[in-house]
Structure 1
Amino acid sequence: MKTINIFSCKLPSKDLVVCSAHVILVAAWLVQIKHCQCQVDGVSQSTFKIVRGKRLASGVTWMRNISRQGLTLQRCAIACAVDCGMFEFNKVYNACIFYKERNYDIGITVSSDTDWTWAYKRRHTTISHGGWTLVFRAQAKIQVSAYETWNDTAATTDNPVQDSFPHACLRLVDYASCDRHFRSHIVDNWDNVDKVRFSLINNELEVAYILFDGVGSNRSSWFSQSRVLSSSWFNMRADSKVDIFDLFGFKIVPKLWRTFLIFGPKVICNLDKFYTMVIDQSSDSCLVFWDIDLTGYPSFYYSTEPDMGNLYTLFSADQHAQAEVLAVSVTFL
């Protein structure tokens, strides 16, 4: 019997019909293999991670459970609706238990039990925390500009989030191992946004925030003094001393670049006052006046005063501090 190399069939050939038939058979075989690899008991592994012989032990919030004769892993996966982050299935008792947490949440522990299968959603389209959708999360001092990442469509890291993306970089707690920024596709699809929350996080606590009206805004215009609804600083919206309130901020090449900037009048370094800013490059010409030791960028600074704080060393020792994480989250109409 003649052997035909299906990957090098040439025309014209008297064996064309045989060759084509072999190609079709092998293609169908490869599709079957791929299907088997992507499904576990009818559940897509691109949507769920299936872990047999494990069940949840602690750190999860019960939502509901179902139990009926003939219940399968596939039916449990279908029943894990939008609000469900993970579930466990018992093949002996035909039972499913559903939980709220996502795989990137902290404090989840599992135990071994051969009667149970644990499944959690993976490759999330978006990341949510407490009713807010995270659209941007910048990590301090990783030598990658926060503003350039915000503005870079190619830097998008969700829709879906890949399994290889560090969970620490999706969280606002337990993030010590994070080594990159997170950028949602929502930044480029800024539609039906209701509220925007700008947060600065340090030691896993929100140390400063601004809540903006996002209705009718775009990915830049939301960051505006006229859109401020509330803030951790007193009367920010009405503060007439604010001179710059801008995402791009203030840039003088190569001396400085301050982004996500809310600043007082630009006079001289030793008179500078501010609410918040990101030093978004490796140097700033005013650092010597501010007595700031810049050990990396981006660096997130905020006023610790009820309003704008002084940056000048002589009287600002306790008027500004650094944060570890900058986060932007939204709700929708």
Structure 2
Amino acid sequence: MRIHIMIIVIELLILNYIVCGVTAKGDWELVFHALSGKGENVMKTWQTKFKKECDILNLNSCPCSVKDGCLPLSYRWETAKDQCPKILRSIKVDFWECLNIQKVKVELISKEKTVAFVEFDGKGSTYMNWFHKSRVQKSSWPDMRKGGRFNFFSLNKEARHGRHFFISKLYHGCPGDSGWFVVMDASGSKPCRWEKQNSYPQFLYSKDGKVIKWQNMKYGRAEVLNIYIKRA
């Protein structure tokens, strides 16, 4: 019995290493990369699992093409961003719960500089529940605290309007809607002027370091959305 348990533990350790590639312990690993205005649905892509047959014990050999929207294990967007026509999603997302994830980070980038970010506690999370107010550890918005007031802090609970990865403080009619960040996908109705964009997706965020009223139209539009994980 004890030998059997040891074999299982060793297999899980090997699986964790193979799934995660050769990234050094404690490094941020890019698992999702999206550009604004490219016409793809960010939330749908995040939820869509890898379709091609893959050997779970040898993910490095899995067929993974940037042209197909697959994020290679060793991909670095900083050096390959000009070759990225699609939203890219890593196979690691499909094995989220076996990766011993400690932290998750959402980062917004414009002109190759970070303009906003939120770091989350990733321990014991799934790929659909890590984005939650109770998990916030650090943020570029000082007034956004995990014990604060939010009417939405969710990946997809406001899908009726295509408002995903949505961090909202208050609804008070369109002029009074206030928040910090939203991925605005093309799907869903768009009842408010602030969410009607010329192209989608758009990564809208407060540039003031604090909550804003969206209808004032003084939000920023980030060019890039990246999601990272950090393992133990």
> What letter matches 1:297 in structure 2?
Y
Structure with more helix by fraction:
2
Measure the CA separation in 1 of the matches of 2:65 and 2:90. Answer: 16
> Contact 2:66/2:88 (CA < 8 Å) preserved in 1?
no
TM-score, reference length from structure 2:
0.75
Alignment deviations for residues 258-302 of structure 1 (CA, whole Å, 9 cap, x no partner): 1010012223111111111011116752442x2x66122111111
TM-score, reference length from structure 1:
0.53
Matched, 1:279 2:184: yes
CA 1:312–1:155 in structure 2 vs 1: closer, same or farther (change >3 Å)? farther
In the alignment, what sits opposite 1:165? 66
For structure 1, the 5+ residue unaligned runs are 1-123
In the alignment, what sits opposite 1:184? 90
Matched, 1:329 2:225: no
> Contact 1:174/1:204 (CA < 8 Å) preserved in 2?
no
In the alignment, what sits opposite 1:301? 204
CA 1:200–1:220 in structure 2 vs 1: closer, same or farther (change >3 Å)? same
> Contact 2:178/2:213 (CA < 8 Å) preserved in 1?
yes
CA 1:307–1:161 in structure 2 vs 1: closer, same or farther (change >3 Å)? farther
Structure with more strand by fraction:
1
Measure the CA separation in 2 of the matches of 1:127 and 1:149. Answer: 25
In the alignment, what sits opposite 1:234? 142
Between the two proteins, the alignment pairs up a number of residues equal to 201
> Contact 1:202/1:323 (CA < 8 Å) preserved in 2?
yes
Q: 1:261 aligns with which of 159, 163, 166?
A: 166
Task: Compare relative contact order (CA 8 Å, sep 6+) and give the higher one, 1 or 2.
Answer: 2
Measure the CA separation in 2 of the matches of 1:205 and 1:127. Answer: 26
For structure 2, the 5+ residue unaligned runs are 1-18, 53-58
Matched, 1:153 2:153: no
Secondary structure of 2:66's counterpart equals coil
Measure the CA separation in 2 of the matches of 1:163 and 1:186. Answer: 12
Measure the CA separation in 2 of the matches of 1:332 and 1:322. Answer: 30
Measure the CA separation in 2 of the matches of 1:241 and 1:285. Answer: 24
Q: Percent identity?
A: 30
Secondary structure of 2:153's counterpart equals strand
Measure the CA separation in 2 of the matches of 1:127 and 1:170. Answer: 14
Secondary structure of 1:209's counterpart equals strand
> Contact 1:126/1:160 (CA < 8 Å) preserved in 2?
no
CA 1:134–1:128 in structure 2 vs 1: closer, same or farther (change >3 Å)? farther
